[in-house]
Amino acid sequence: MRFLAAPPGEIMAEPYQLNGILNGMPNLSHPSSPSEVDEFCKALGGNSPIHSVLVANNGMAAVKFMRSIRIWALETFGTEKAILLVAMATPEDLKINAEHIRIADQFIEVPGGTNNNNYANVQLIVEIAERTRVSAVWPGWGHASENPELPDALDEKGIIFLGPPSAAMAALGDKIGSSLIAQAAGVPTLPWSGSHVKVPPESCHSIPEELYRNACVSTTEEAVASCQVVGYPAMIKASWGGGGKGIRKVHNDDEVRALFKQVQGEVPGSPIFIMKVASQSRHLEVQLLCDKHGNVAALHSRDCSVQRRHQKIIEEGPITIAAPDTVKELEQAARQLAKCVQYVGAATVEYLYSMETGEYYFLELNPRLQVEHPVTEWIAEINLPAAQVAVGMGIPLYNIPEIRRFYGMDHGGGYHNWRTISAVATKFDLDKAQSVRPKGHCVAVRVTSEDPDDGFKPTSGRVEELNFKSKPNVWAYFSVKASICPSKLSGGAIHEFSDSQFGHVFAFGESRSLAIANMVLGLKEIQIRGEIRTNVDYTVDLLNATEYRENKIHTGWLDSRIAMRVRAERPPWYLSVVGGALYEASSRSSSVITDYVGYLSKGQIPPKHISLVNLTVTLNIEGSKYTIETVRGGPRSYKLRMNGSEIETEIHSLRDGGLLMQLDGNSHVIYAETEAAGTRLLINGRTCLLQKEHDPSKLLADTPCKLLRFLVADGSHVDADTPYAEVEVMKMCMPLLLPASGVIHFVMPEGQAMKANDLIARLDLDDPSSVRRAEPFHGSFPKLGPPTAISGKVHQKFAASVNSAHMILAGYEHNINEVVQDLLNCLDNPELPFLQWQELMSVLATRLPKDLRNELDGKYKEYELNPDFCKSKDFPARLLRGVIEANLAYCSEKDRVTNERLVEPLMSLVKSYEGGRESHARVVSDVIERLRLQHAKDLEKVVYIVFSHQGVRSKNKLILRLMEALVYPNPSAYRDQLIRFSALNHTSYSEVKLKILKD
C-alpha cells in the first residue's frame, strides 16, 4: 500500500485506520491522467471533473455502483481504474469478506454495529471524504442516502454529492413532504392524514413547519383518530422508512394501538402519517434523471407490484398493465414534481394504480437510485450510476451520449467517442422530445436471506456455496461470495447488521412471457447453500403462478399467498424420507467410526452393540414421524426398510460435504444444514426440514436477533398465537407468537442480543396433552427400481454377484441365497468367458502392440467360425494363451516387461478357463481368501475388521452355500482352502469347520 505525505505547508492529521494500517492517507493516483477526465468533463459541457468517489454504502448498493463505474470507465477512458473508488468497511463486512471491499481501490475501516455508527453517520462520511480527498460521495440507497444533512455538509467542504441538493431531498424525499407537494401540483393522492393540508405553490421549496406537522400523527390516539377519518384498512407509515421498514397495515383501532410503536421503533425519530389502503392496486413507478440545468428525463417505467410486507420481491419493466396514454401521464406528473423543487440526480416517483378504475395516485418520491434500477438500464440502455457521475460533473443531459440515444438523437456512437461528441451534440428540449420504445421486457428478482416457510423471517450466517451462470439474457450480481472454510466465517456470510437482500437477478426477453421464462431458467440454476435460507425456490413458484403469468397480480397478492400458506414446491415425500435417512445414517456411521477409534486409541474394548451396518433412523417431516431401518450393503450401498417395504440406493460423498444419491435410476444431490428447528435438507435445489422434537414449554430464539421488548406481562396467562415479544432481525421488527396457551415466565432481559436457540421464556402449558405431536407414518415406500440401470449381460451380472459376495465377507448385508444363485447361474452360462474377453479387449485394444492385437482378433474370430465351437461353446483359453506367450517370447527384454503388464488381465482370464468352466468356478474361492485380512496399524482398518467380524453369521452362511454348490461336487480342486478352514479355532467358525470335518 502506498501513501501520500501531507502537502507542503499542511500538518498531517492524526493517523486514520486505512486497510487495517494506522498510517498516512490513501494514494488516489490513477492510471488515467487527470487531464483526460478534465477534458471529458469540459468536452461534454461539465464544470466539475470527478476523479474519485467515496462509496458511502455496502452490500448490493456498493457492488452495483462499483461494477457499473468500472464498465463505464473502461469504455470511456480505456481503463476501468479511471475513476478511483474508495469503500467503507465495518468489522462485520471485513469478517465476511464483503464483495464491495474486494472491488474497491481503497477501503477505510469504520466502526461496526448498527448503521448510525457507520453508513448512516453523516459526520463520519464527511470526515472520510475529506481525509481521502475524493471528488465526490455516492450514497447509494438506504443508510444516509435520504438525509439532507449529508449534501449540505459535503457542499460546505467542496465535495460533490451524487444526489439531489438538500432542499429538494427534504421536500420530495420525505414521504409527507412529497405528498403535500404532489397535492399542490395537482397530482392525485389517496386519502391520508394530510389530505386537509393545503400548501401554496410558492412554498413547495420549503414547506412551513406548521403545515408539515398538521399532516403527521405523533401519538397512538392521533393515529387511531386519523385512521377512522381516512377509513380502514389503512397504513401507518414512517416518513423516513423504506424497504419494508416503518410501515404496517391495520384493519381496526386495536391493531393501530398494537402496531404504532413498531413503526416508531423501526425508524426512530421519523415523522409518521396515515394513508388509506388502495385495494387491488398495482405499484407503478417512473425512473427520473435530472441535471443541474433544469432538464428532466423520464426513463421509461417499472411495475413493482409483487411485494412482501411492502418490500419488493419481483420488479419488471416497462409497465404493461396500464394504457400507454396513462403511462405518459405518470411520466409527465413525475417530471413536473421534480421541476417543482429543482431536483438533481436520479429519482423514482411511485404511484398506486387501481386495476378496477384505471386511476392512479401519487405514493412517494425516492430521492436516490433504487435497487431495481437495472430494470431501467436494460430496457432504456442507460448506465444509471455512470449517468449520476456525469450529472455530478455538471454535464447537461442533452450531452450525455446514452441520453441522446434514448431520445433518438445523434450520440456519436457512445461514450467511447466522447471526444467527438461536441461536434454532434445539440441542445434539445427533453419535455418535447419523444423517447425511443423500450427495448423488450425485463424481469428482476431480489434474492434475500429470508425463510419463506417462516413468514419470510430474515436469516443470517455462513454462505458455503453461491454459484450462478450468466446467460445472454440473464445476469445477476451478489454482495457475498461462498465461504472458503465451511467450519467458520472465513468466506461469505450475511451478518446480523446486513440487509437481507444479497443478490439481484435480471432476465430479458422480447416479450414479458419470454422474460419470465428466462428468469425461471436462470433461478433454477442458482446454487446457494449455507446457514441462511433464501427465497429462490419460492420465487420460482411465484413466477410460474397463473395469476402472475396472466398479469392479474396486485400489491397484496403475495401477502395473501403467504396468509394462505402457499409454499414453495417440496421434494416428493419419499425423496425427503430417503434423503433424510441416508444423511442421518451416513452422519451416524461416521460418528460410530470416530467413537470406535477413540476407544481403541485409549486401549479400551468398544461396546459390542455398536454397528456400522444396521441403524434405525426416526425422522419428523411436516407432522409425520417416519421410522426407517437402514442396512448397508457396502461402503456406498444401502437398503432402506419401512413398514414392510424396501428400496435400494447408493450414495457418494461429494468434496463439498454433499451427498450424491442414486435412487430408482436417477441421481439426486443432497446438502444439509443444521439450524435451530432441525436439519434443513436441500434436495435438487428443493428444501425440506427434518424437524427436532419441539418442546413448546421452552420459547427459543430461532435466529440471531435482538430482544426489543415484551408485549405481555411476566407471569401472565397468554393464549396461543398471541404476540408475546418483539425482536429485531436484520433491521426488521418482528413479533414472536406463542405456540400454545399457558402462563409465561421471562428468562431473557429486554435489549439483549440473542443467538439461535437462546432461551427467551418458559411456558407453563395449560394442557400439555393438547400439544400436537408428529403422527407415526404407516405407509410404504413407492415401488422403485434399482439405484442404477442393471445390465442383462451375464459377465456384468457375474461381476456384480462377486462384488456382493465380497461385501458379505466384509460384514455388510445382502441376500445370500440370491447372491449364490446368481453366481451359479452365471458360471453355468457358456457366454460368460467370451463376454469377459470382449470387455477386456475393448479396454486394452488401443494399448496392445498392433501385431498382438491383430493376431488375437484373428485367432478369436477363426475359432468362432470353427464348426467344433458351434457344438461345444468352449472358450479357447489355451489357444489365446499360446498367442500371448508366443508374442511375448519375440519381444525385446525392455518391451517384454511393459507388455507383460499390459496383458496381465488377459492372461489371468485365460488361465482361469484352461480347465473349462468347472475350473473357472474356483475363482469364487478368491472371495473366500479375502477372509484373511491383514491387521494394519491403522485403527480405522481395525474398526472395519471388527465390523466384518460382527457379520460372521452371514459369512458362515455364504461359505456353506458356496461349499454345497461348488466345493463338494469336486473337493479336490479346493483342497488348499478346505485345509485352511479346518484349522480355524474360533467358535464363530465352528459351523464351517464342523461341516468340513463331517464331510
Rounded Cα gap, residues 472 and 94, in angstroms: 33
Instruction: Decide which of 459 and 589 is more confident.
Output: 459
State the pTM of this model.
Answer: 0.71
CA distance 146 to 143: 8
CA distance 339 to 95: 44
pLDDT at 740 over 60: yes
pLDDT (average), residues 365-382: 95
Ordered alpha helix ranges (H), 828-932: 832-844, 850-864, 867-872, 877-889, 893-912, 917-920, 925-929
Flag the least confident range among 225-229, 281-285, 775-779, 938-942: 938-942
**Residue 964 confidence (pLDDT):** 59
d(CA 858, CA 850): 12
Share of the chain above pLDDT 90, in %: 45
Q: Of 121-125, 363-367, 489-493, which one has max mean pLDDT?
A: 121-125
Same fold, 169-367 and 441-563: yes
Q: Is the pLDDT of residue 519 over 90?
A: yes
Peptide bond preceding 318: is omega within 30 degrees of 0, i.e. cis? yes
Looking at residue 522, its amino acid is G
Residue 242 has pLDDT above 50, yes or no: yes
> Does residue 937 surpass a pLDDT of 80?
no
Residue 85: Cβ within 10 Å count: 25
Q: What is the CATH number that goes with domain 698-773?
A: 2.40.50.100
Name the nearest CA neighbour of 928 among 899, 897, 956.
956
Give the strands of the sheet with 245-250, arranged side by side.
245-250, 234-242, 272-276
350-376: average pLDDT: 94
Indicate the SS3 state at residue 288.
strand
Type and span of the H or E element at 600: helix 573-601
CA–CA dist 354, 359 (Å, integer):
5
Q: What is the CATH number of domain 3-168?
A: 3.40.50.20
> What beta strand segments (E) does 587-655 contain?
614-621, 624-632, 637-642, 645-653
Q: What is d(CA 593, CA 959) in angstroms, rounded to the nearest whole number?
A: 27
| Better pLDDT: 457 or 168 | 168
Q: Which residues pair with 759 in a beta bridge?
A: 700
> What local confidence, expressed as pLDDT, does residue 7 receive?
31
Q: Is 623 helix (H, G, I), strand (E, B) or coil?
A: coil
Cell numbers given for 717: 396467562
Alpha carbons 45 and 48: distance in angstroms, whole number: 10
Q: Would you say residue 903 has pLDDT above 50?
A: yes
Cα(13)–Cα(176) distance, integer angstroms: 42
| pLDDT range class, residue 39, cuts 50, 70, 90 | very high
pLDDT category at 49 given cuts 50, 70, 90 is: very high
Which of the four pLDDT bands, split at 50, 70 and 90, describes residue 274? Answer: very high
Name the percent of the chain lying above pLDDT 70. Answer: 83
Residue 898 or 121, more confident: 121
The domain locations on the chain are: 3-168, 169-367, 441-563, 573-691, 698-773, 795-980
pLDDT tier, 948 (very low <50, low <70, confident <90, very high otherwise): low
**Helix, strand or coil, per DSSP, at residue 317:** strand
Predicted local distance difference test score (pLDDT) of residue 931: 36
Q: CA distances (Å), 255 to each of 176, 223, 267, 457, in order?
A: 22, 11, 19, 21
- Per-residue pLDDT tens digits for 838-870: 888 888 888 888 888 888 888 888 777 776 655
H or E stretch covering 287:
strand 281-290
Predicted confidence (pLDDT) per residue in 547-583, tens digit: 999 999 999 999 888 877 777 778 899 999 999 999 8
Say if residue 935's pLDDT is above 50.
no
295 compared with 174, residue with greater pLDDT: 295
User: Is residue 411's pLDDT more than 90?
Assistant: no
Residue 269 is placed in which grid cell? Answer: 425519530
Superfamily of domain 169-367: ATP-grasp fold, B domain (3.30.470.20)
Which amino acid type is present at position 876? P
Q: What span, in angstroms and rounded, lies between the C-alpha atoms of 563 and 557?
A: 10
Kindly give the pairing relationship between strand 753-754 and strand 759-765.
unpaired
d(CA 10, CA 707): 49
The radius of gyration of the chain from alpha carbons, rounded to an integer in Å, stands at 37
Confidence of residue 603 (pLDDT cuts 50, 70, 90): low
Strands 450-451 and 527-530: unpaired
Q: Following DSSP, what letter does each residue of 134-169 receive, concatenated?
A: -SEEE--SSTTTT-THHHHHHHHTT-EESS--HHHI
Per-residue confidence band for 476, with pLDDT thresholds at 50, 70 and 90:
very high
**368 flagged as catalytic:** yes
SS3 659: strand
pLDDT band at 11 (very low <50, low <70, confident <90, very high): very low
Q: Which of 308, 368, 529, 561 is catalytic?
A: 368
Rounded distance, CA 369 to CA 289, Å? 10
Residue 963 carries which DSSP code?
A: I
Residues 6+ apart with CB under 8 A from 567: 452, 453, 538
pLDDT value of residue 487 = 42
- Residue 443's CB is within 10 A of a number of other CB atoms, namely 29
DSSP structure class, residue 894: H
HEC assignment per residue over 477-495: EECCCCCCCCCCCCCCEEC
Nine-digit cell at 443? Answer: 424481469
Higher pLDDT, 346 or 636: 346
Q: Does 708 score more than 60 pLDDT? A: yes
Q: Are strands 106-109 and 234-242 parallel, antiparallel or unpaired?
A: unpaired
The predicted pLDDT at position 499 comes to 79
pLDDT for residue 220 is more than 90: yes
Q: What distance in Å separates the CA atoms of residue 691 and residue 625, rounded to the nearest whole number?
A: 10
- Count other Cβ atoms within 10 Å, centred on residue 489: 18
pLDDT top residue among 627 and 813: 627
| N- to C-terminal Cα separation, the chain | 86
> What number of other Cβ atoms are within 10 A of residue 272's Cβ?
25
Q: What is the pLDDT of residues 676-690, one digit of tens each?
A: 778 888 898 788 888
d(CA 971, CA 918): 12
483 or 240: which carries more pLDDT confidence? 240
Measured in degrees and rounded to the nearest 5, phi and psi for residue 384 equal -70, -45
Q: Whose CA is closest to 840, among 823, 857, 817?
A: 857
Per residue in 523-553, pLDDT (tens digit) is 998 988 888 889 999 999 999 999 999 999 9
Looking at domain 573-691, its CATH class is alpha beta
Answer for the pair 994, 982: CB distance below 8 angstroms, yes or no: no
Where does the pLDDT of residue 490 fall: very low under 50, low under 70, confident under 90, or very high at 90 and above?
very low
Q: In this structure, is the dihedral angle defined by the CA atoms of residues 979, 984, 989 and 993, taken in order, positive or negative?
A: positive
List Cβ neighbours of 667 (8 Å cut-off, separation of 6 or more): 660, 661
Please give the pLDDT value at position 596. Answer: 66
- Sequential DSSP letters for 7-19: PTT-PPPPP-EET
pLDDT on residue 694:
74
Neighbouring C-alpha atoms within 13 Å toward the C-beta of 225: 9
pLDDT digits (tens, 9 = 90+) for 179-208: 999 998 889 999 999 999 998 877 777 788
Say which CATH topology domain 441-563 has: D-amino Acid Aminotransferase; Chain A, domain 1 (3.30.470)
Per this entry, what is the length of the chain? 999
- No. of H helices and E strands in the chain? 34, 42
Q: Decide if pLDDT at 150 tops 80.
A: yes
Pairing of strands 136-138, 160-161: parallel
Rounded Cα distance, 780 and 769, in Å: 29
pLDDT confidence band for 488 (50 / 70 / 90): very low
Minimum mean pLDDT range among 136-145, 903-912, 923-932: 923-932
Instruction: Give me the mean pLDDT over the 589-618 stretch.
Output: 72
Confidence tier at 452 by pLDDT (50, 70, 90):
confident
SS3 960: helix
Q: What is the average pLDDT score of the chain?
A: 83
Least confident of 47-51, 728-732, 745-749: 728-732
Q: Is the pLDDT of residue 746 over 70?
A: yes
In angstroms, rounded to a whole number, what is the distance separating the alpha carbons of residues 397 and 368?
Answer: 17
The CA angle 923-926-927, to the nearest 5 degrees, is: 110
